[in-house]
């Protein structure tokens, strides 16, 4: 940090203006380098945080609240983007790919972590961090008109499966770490999930539908309803010792069903992506100590390299097996792999929740090395994901020029 008291010398509005300038400019800079915008937010948090300029205070109450809300909204919109109609078109095939895409990286990551001395519970959680994925390359696929291709729909549906399973693993691992493992604890956690998940997906969707019909005529009211539903679901999850992001994710799926589409979410999404979600990534950037980060890469090459290898090999084998079983072409299988490589939003959120989870002795579920390895994973897979998607799309367009808009209606045509 350049000056330990720099935050105290700058007026509050000046610090706020600096933060907004970084939020505006840095994501655009990293996007030019073919990396996703959230990495720019992380970089902004690193620059303005306690390990560099010290402009923003790590434990500022307002910023921390914005960051917590941004984390919930990030998972809410991850659930809100789940299109049940797209998923239904290739539900069974998506289930197969989702199961493979979750299980193989999960087992590889858990085995790696356990072999490096992490507890079984921590190893399982680390495996789940590798198992989900973020569809960063989907806009590229949309631009070239391949979003209706069956292999793409299967990958989208598989993303839903991997995200839900990763969240459920988190929901089980956190209470075990905080209160200790017992069959009773595990049984209670599973029972709570069994009740809570349908209560949100069905009950909250029904309540949300009524509120939208009665009070959701104006954009302001619809925004308030969405925030209310997310807050209720997140608080409900915390009341039964689950993480709030689990309730927020499920609330997004439920409200998407209740609103029959995306109408009403535009205003909330604009505010979230302009303020709250960047605040979450800024706060995550505060945790990055460049010295410790590079020490982790140098001192723990097995962990960092093993995590990357477990992810890439697991996702590739999953896509290869699924494409063979479903009769897809080689380029389709490579596109499925490419879309399932990037790890950004949910991965970082789960890692941070696990890092901040403390047991009775104050020990974290995962240590700083795992958090730093996760950040390396986010950066590397984001870059590789865009590269792989671009190559796969070019291969598909060159080898199989077809009418992709009707592929889901005639799936044999697109294999």
**pLDDT tier for residue 316 given thresholds of 50, 70 and 90:** very high
Does residue 407 register a pLDDT over 70?
no
- Please return the burial class of 57, using the count of CB atoms within 10 Å of its CB with bins 0-12, 13-18 and 19+: middle
pLDDT at position 213: 87
Q: What is the mean pLDDT of residues 85-111?
A: 85
Q: Residue 37: which residues within 8 A CB-CB, separation 6 or more?
A: 27, 28, 30, 31
* pLDDT band of 82, cuts 50, 70, 90: low
Query: In the predicted model, what is the mean pLDDT of residues 210-229?
Result: 87
Instruction: Read off the pLDDT of each residue in 269-296 and give the average, rounded to a whole number.
Output: 80
Band of pLDDT at residue 308, cut at 50, 70 and 90: very high
Q: What is the DSSP string of 263-300?
A: TT-HHHHHHIIIIIHHHHHHHHHHT--HHHHHHHHHH-
Query: Is residue 185 very low, low, confident or very high in pLDDT (cuts 50, 70, 90)?
Result: low
85 falls in which pLDDT band (50, 70, 90)? low
Is the model's pLDDT at 208 over the cut of 50?
yes
- pLDDT for 8 equals 64
Averaged pLDDT score across all residues of the chain: 80
Structure confidence at residue 241 (pLDDT)? 66
* Distance, CA of 151 to chain centre: 21
Q: What is the pLDDT of residues 240-264, one digit of tens each?
A: 766 677 788 788 888 887 776 555 6
CB count in 10 Å sphere of residue 291:
8
pLDDT attached to residue 100? 94
Q: How far apart are CA 72 and CA 63, in angstroms?
A: 14
Rounded to the nearest 10 degrees, how much is the dihedral formed by the CA atoms of 353, 356, 359, 362? 170
As a whole-number percent, the residues of the chain with pLDDT over 90 amount to 16
Burial class, 39, CB count within 10 angstroms (exposed 0-12 / middle 13-18 / buried 19+):
buried
| Residue, of 356 and 85, whose pLDDT is higher | 356
pLDDT tops 70 at residue 313: yes
Mean pLDDT is lowest, of 89-93, 206-210, 221-225, 358-362, for: 89-93
How would residue 323 be classed by pLDDT, with cut points 50, 70 and 90?
A: very high
Q: Strand, helix or coil at 364?
A: strand
pLDDT (0 to 100) of residue 158: 81
Contact 226, 278 (CB under 8 A): no
More confident residue, 134 or 272: 272
Q: Is 51 exposed, middle or buried (CB count within 10 Å of its CB: 0-12, 13-18, 19+)? A: buried
Question: What does the pLDDT read at residue 410?
Answer: 42
Confidence of residue 154 (pLDDT cuts 50, 70, 90): confident
pLDDT of residue 414: 45
Contact between 175 and 185 (Cβ < 8 Å):
yes
pLDDT at 315 over 80: yes
- Taking 90 as the threshold, does the pLDDT of residue 30 lie above it? no
pLDDT of residue 139: 64
Highest mean pLDDT among 59-68, 122-131, 274-283, 370-379: 122-131
Q: What is the pLDDT of residue 88?
A: 65
CA 335 vs CA 227, 319, 360, 390: distances in Å:
35, 9, 45, 9
More confident residue, 363 or 184: 363
């Amino acid at each position: 940090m350049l000056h330990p008291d720099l935050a105290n010398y700058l007026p509050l509005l000046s610090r706020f203006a600096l933060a907004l300038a970084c939020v505006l400019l840095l994501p655009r800079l990293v996007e030019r380098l073919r990396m996703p915008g959230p990495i720019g937010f992380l970089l902004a948090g690193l620059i303005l945080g306690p390990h560099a300029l010290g402009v923003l205070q790590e434990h500022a109450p307002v910023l921390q609240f914005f960051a917590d809300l941004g984390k919930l909204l990030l998972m809410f919109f991850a659930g809100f983007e789940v299109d049940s109609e797209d998923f239904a078109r290739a539900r069974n095939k998506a289930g197969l790919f989702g199961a493979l895409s979750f299980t193989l990286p999960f087992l590889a990551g858990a085995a790696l972590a356990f072999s490096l001395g992490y507890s079984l519970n921590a190893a399982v959680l680390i495996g789940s961090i590798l198992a989900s994925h973020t569809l960063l390359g989907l806009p590229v696929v949309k631009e070239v008109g391949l979003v209706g291709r069956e292999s793409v729909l299967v990958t989208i549906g598989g993303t839903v499966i991997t995200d839900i399973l990763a969240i459920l693993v988190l929901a089980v691992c956190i209470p075990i770490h905080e209160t200790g493992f017992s069959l009773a604890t595990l049984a209670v956690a599973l029972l709570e999930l069994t009740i809570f998940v349908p209560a949100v997906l069905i009950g909250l969707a029904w309540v949300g539908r009524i509120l939208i019909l009665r009070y959701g005529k104006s954009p302001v009211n619809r925004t308030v309803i969405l925030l209310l539903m997310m807050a209720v679901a997140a608080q409900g999850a915390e009341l039964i010792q689950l993480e709030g992001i689990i309730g927020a994710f499920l609330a997004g799926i439920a409200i998407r069903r209740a609103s029959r589409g995306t109408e009403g979410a535009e205003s909330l999404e604009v505010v979230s992506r302009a303020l709250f979600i960047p605040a979450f990534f800024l706060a995550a950037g505060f945790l990055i100590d460049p010295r410790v980060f590079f020490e982790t890469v140098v001192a723990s090459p097995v962990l960092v390299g093993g995590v990357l290898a477990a992810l890439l090999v697991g996702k590739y084998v999953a896509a290869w097996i699924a494409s063979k079983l479903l009769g897809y072409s080689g380029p389709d299988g490579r596109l499925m792999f490419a879309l399932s490589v990037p790890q950004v939003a949910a991965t970082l959120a789960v890692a941070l929740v696990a890092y901040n989870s403390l047991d009775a002795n104050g020990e974290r579920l995962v240590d700083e090395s795992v958090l730093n390895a996760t950040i390396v994973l986010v950066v590397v897979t984001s870059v590789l994901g865009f590269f792989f998607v671009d190559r796969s799309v070019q291969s598909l367009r060159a080898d199989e020029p077809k009418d992709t808009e009707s592929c889901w209606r005639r799936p044999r045509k697109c294999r």
